[in-house]
Amino acid sequence: MELDFERCYRAVDSRDQRFDGWFYTGVTSTGIYCRPSCPAMTPKRQNVRFFPSAAAAQGAGLRACRRCRPDAAPGSPQWDVRADVVGRAMRLIADGVVDRDGVPGLAARLGYTERHLHRMLRAELGAGPLALARAQRAQTARILIETTGLGLAEVAFAAGFGSVRQFNDTVREVYGATPSELRIARGRRAAAGGAGTITLRLAYRPPLHATALLDFLALRALPGVEEVRDGTYRRGLRLPHGAGTVALTPVDGHVAATLRLADMRDLAPAVARCRRLLDLDADPIAIDTTLAQDPTLAPAVQTEPGVRLPHAVDGFEMAIRAITTQQISLQSARTTLTHLLSAAAPLDPPVDHEVGGEVDLPNHGQPHDQRGGLRAFPTAEEVLGVAERGFRMPGARRETIRAVARAVADGDLDLEPGGDREEAVRRLSALPGIGPWTAGYVAMRALGDPDVFLPTDLGVRRGAAALGHPGDPKTLDAYADRWRPWRSYAVIRLWRAA
């Protein structure tokens, strides 16, 4: 990746936090690398090198700055936005695929040879897949060292290292201190939540409109799976090695996250999925600047800067939600999904109130297990079993759910962030009962496509009418071209306008 020296140096000189995660500043005179917003004195030009990834800086023999903690910076927005092989690879590495399946597993998921994949990542990021995964393991290890009471040998294997020696060498090389010294320096004790509980901060690029984010999630919260209460979003997670729950609370400058994990090896995937869910790696300045060029959206952008596009922790879950919501209200869809959940695995007796036969749940969920009272959405195999047995839903829609569940269970449909977006939409659209709206909604929220527009969506049309836009879907679709490449974010703003 080409990094313009003058532009990068100006960002460092002004300590512009908008560039955190876009690149890393290496200081050859001190042997450290920092995020652009590091509060330390600006280094001299002749002592500065810029790197496209933390792994590249580590490969050059630099250690992470202990003051600005560059490994905790927001991720580069392009890895969420880009649909090419490198973007997909970065999302899969963040989800821990290399730690679980090795580089051969990563290459197989992407359909490329290991050699070609290594060449592409080196060209873009200055580091290959092993180095990128190693940098992530180092960050995971630091979090576990500083926020849990786990023994250091346990930390080593939970972070994905193959041996304690490899763990010690990597931590010493990346942070310039031994694991024991890091733990002593921070003086942190294990989180009050007990064994398996980790509390950490999730960084983001400001601004972040937290109210819009929580409003969106609360309106669609599914009992037993998620809830929004007192400014905190909670949900159950299905992770590679076991179950978990997370509580996410937006506060000034970061999102406070409390994770309860059955297996500590799931920390990195859990963090990556939570970041994607809240769209924390987005570049709100770039998005809002484009949308504000339309005079009809400019007042909303000025009043509510930093509105994010909530994604998904489970692509299959989002597809089932989209199918269930077809041509009915969110309230009715929620009731149907509650029936599906109960049929897949009966919940404990509900504590929420019901109004008119539908669950009234703006701020409540249902207890289910001992790990925070919430569980993950059922797997494709579980939903397939329910669809074949039958549950309360029109027959045609139930058949669509069965077809999607079968395709996901058989591996014919990949709806996770590392999947090929175009291929996923093509295969999804070929299934019975999947039209442009459903495929577009899944692409926007499950696959993270930032440039999807839903001209036939009732909420979009109502929001457009409220702002004085054309109401006809065809005319509105043509009008939306001015919002490229951020039409998905325009959809969120139109829904708020509605």
Q: Which residues are catalytic?
A: 34, 457
| Token couple for 167 | 């763990």
Dist CA 415 CA 318 (whole Å): 9
Amino acid at 50: F
Closest alpha carbon to 233 in 264, 212, 253, 207: 212
CB burial readout 236-271, b (16+ within 10 A) else e: bbbbbeebbbbbbbbeeebbebbbbbeebbbbbbbb
Q: Beta strands of 118-206 (E only): which ranges?
A: 197-203
B/e letters for 358-388, b = 16+ CB within 10 Å, e = fewer, are: ebebeebbbbbeebbbbbbbbbbebbbbbbe
Contact 386, 380 (CB under 8 A): no
Peptide bond into 485 cis (omega under 30): yes
Long-range contacts of 99-108 (CB under 8 A, 24+ apart): 99/133, 99/137, 99/160, 99/265, 99/268, 100/240, 103/129, 103/130
The region, left, alpha or beta by phi > 0 then psi within -120 to 50, assigned to residue 411 is left
Helix (H) or strand (E) holding 227: strand 226-229
Using an 8 Å Cβ cutoff, are 110 and 117 in contact? yes
292 DSSP β-pair partners: none
- Residues 407, 405: Cα–Cα separation, whole Å: 6
Token digits of residue 320? 């089932």
Residue pair 391/340 in contact (Cβ under 8 Å)? The answer is yes
Q: Are 53 and 135 in contact (CB under 8 A)?
A: yes
What CA–CA distances, in Å, run from 183 to 156, 171, 203, 260, 297?
14, 12, 22, 21, 49
- Report the candidate in 298, 338, 304 with the shortest Cα–Cα distance to residue 483: 298
